[in-house]
Amino acid sequence: MSSEYLIKLGKDIIPTTSTKIILGNTLKVPPLAIGTWQFGDTSYWGWTPAAVKEAKEAFDLACSNGLTFFDTAEVYGKGESERELGTFRKEYTKEQQDEQVIATKYFPYDNRTQFPDVLLSALKDSLDRLGMVKSDLYQIHAPIHPASIEVVANALADAVEAGLVKAVGVSNYGLDEIKTMHAALKKRGIQLASNQVSFSLIRTIPEKSGLIQLCHDLGISILAYSPMGMGLLTGKFGSKGPWPEARKRLFSSFDPEQLDKLLTTLASLATKYNRPQSAIALNWTIAKGTIPLAGVRTPEHVSQNATALGFLLSQEDIKTLDQFAFEGSTNKEWNHG
């Protein structure tokens, strides 16, 4: 039996694939999303043609397990992530496709200045790659657009009114930016559905700044990307490395003593709840009122992520994790939230 909740799960509700969260008064999604940045990305994740088979198996396993909420973007693999998802979906019936919620993103390059045309054109290109006629959730990738937030909001509203989008969201927006976007869309009679921000035990700024609470107050769901701290929270790496070269700068910026305590606590709770360490990190983000967006490359990743459901950390254990969590940082370039 399924239960439905607006914006976020109700307090003390155990997350399962049957507990649905309603985004923007429109989309019903499970409390755990699947990220597909890795699909097609050669620069960071080392994607090769040989990886397609496992990615397809991961997609199929996620769908069969009820994890039907997928997040992508036009810049992931220069469109390859969207193309892969579009190919994978072809084997599903119309009814099965309708159960899948596909979120993608518009990237506000500096040369994209002619709104709404640039956004509508990019959206149509994304829909072509995805094999869809209407996007479930269309998001602005970062608050770095050359046009004002009001202009971008009107372009999103135009996309909704043109029947190209069911719901609209943003990503990396800070407090003031969220207020402005929400108000601008409200003038057009549209609810801002989501704000996708980096949120994990190594980056708690969205909670500490009040951004999560503000979004909830405005009816906006929080999608938490990098909820496993780019792999740091999974137990794969120690508090002093060795770390992947691409992530060394970030991981080495954390106080090693505090990081050791955090990782030790995660390992202890993994034993207590009989779950992988990654499941504890993901469940923590759910307990904070967000929808974690966990990236996958293989069916094993899907199976591991799914173990974050079916239980809920106690308030005492959440407080213990909070004690060793890091605040993290923002940057003026793109990550304002």
Q: What does the pLDDT read at residue 154?
A: 98
Whether residue 179 lies inside any domain: the answer is: yes
Whether residue 274 lies inside any domain: the answer is: yes
Are 141 and 73 contacting, i.e. CB atoms less than 8 angstroms apart?
A: yes
Instruction: Tell me the residue range of the domain where 78 lies.
Output: 3-324
E strand map for 110-263:
135-140, 165-171, 192-198, 221-225
Reply yes or no on whether the pLDDT at 158 is more than 70. yes
Whether residue 330 lies inside any domain: the answer is: no
| CB-based burial label for 166 (10 Å; 0-12, 13-18, 19+) | middle
Name the pairing type of β-strands 33-35 and 69-71. Answer: parallel
Distance CA 98, CA 63 (A): 12
Number of domains in the chain: 1
State CA 253 to chain mean position distance: 24
Q: What percent of the chain has pLDDT over 90?
A: 87
* Averaged pLDDT for residues 23-34: 98
Q: Give Cβ neighbours of residue 121 (< 8 Å, ≥ 6 apart).
A: none
**Secondary element (H or E) of residue 14:** none
Asked if the bond preceding 116 is cis, omega within 30° of 0, the reply is: yes
* Averaged pLDDT for residues 277-281: 98
Q: What does the pLDDT read at residue 148?
A: 97
Query: Which tens digit of pLDDT belongs to each residue from 29-65?
Result: 999 999 999 898 887 778 888 899 999 999 999 999 9
Q: What does the pLDDT read at residue 24?
A: 97
Distance CA 279, CA 228 (A): 9
Structure tokens at 48: 């090769």
Catalytic positions, please? 76
Query: Which tens digit of pLDDT belongs to each residue from 218-269?
Result: 999 999 999 999 889 998 888 888 887 778 888 888 999 999 999 999 999 9
CATH of the domain at 242: 3.20.20.100
State CA 335 to chain mean position distance: 14
Q: What does the pLDDT read at residue 252?
A: 81
Whether residue 333 lies inside any domain: the answer is: no
What 109-113 contacts at long range (C-beta under 8 Å, 24+ apart), as own/partner pairs, is 110/146, 112/145, 112/146, 113/146, 113/147
* Averaged pLDDT for residues 265-292: 98
Q: Which amino acid is at 275?
A: R
Nearest to 105 by CA among 74, 60, 143: 74
Distance CA 123, CA 165 (A): 9
* Averaged pLDDT for residues 88-98: 97
Whether residue 303 lies inside any domain: the answer is: yes
Whether residue 185 lies inside any domain: the answer is: yes
* Averaged pLDDT for residues 273-281: 97
Query: Which tens digit of pLDDT belongs to each residue from 122-156?
Result: 999 999 999 999 999 999 999 999 999 999 999 99
Q: What does the pLDDT read at residue 1?
A: 58
Q: What's the chain's average pLDDT?
A: 95
Whether residue 139 lies inside any domain: the answer is: yes
Q: What is the DSSP string of 64-110?
A: HTT--EEE--TTGGGGHHHHHHHHHHTTS-HHHHHH-EEEEEE---T
Nearest to 63 by CA among 227, 228, 306: 306
Distance CA 9, CA 321 (A): 20
Q: What does the pLDDT read at residue 248?
A: 82
Whether residue 275 lies inside any domain: the answer is: yes
Q: What does the pLDDT read at residue 246?
A: 76
Are 104 and 80 contacting, i.e. CB atoms less than 8 angstroms apart?
A: no
Distance CA 75, CA 104 (A): 10
Query: Which tens digit of pLDDT belongs to each residue from 294-336?
Result: 999 999 999 999 999 999 999 999 999 999 999 999 988 889 9
Three-state secondary-structure class, residue 226: coil
Structure tokens at 179: 């207020």
Structure tokens at 147: 């046009």
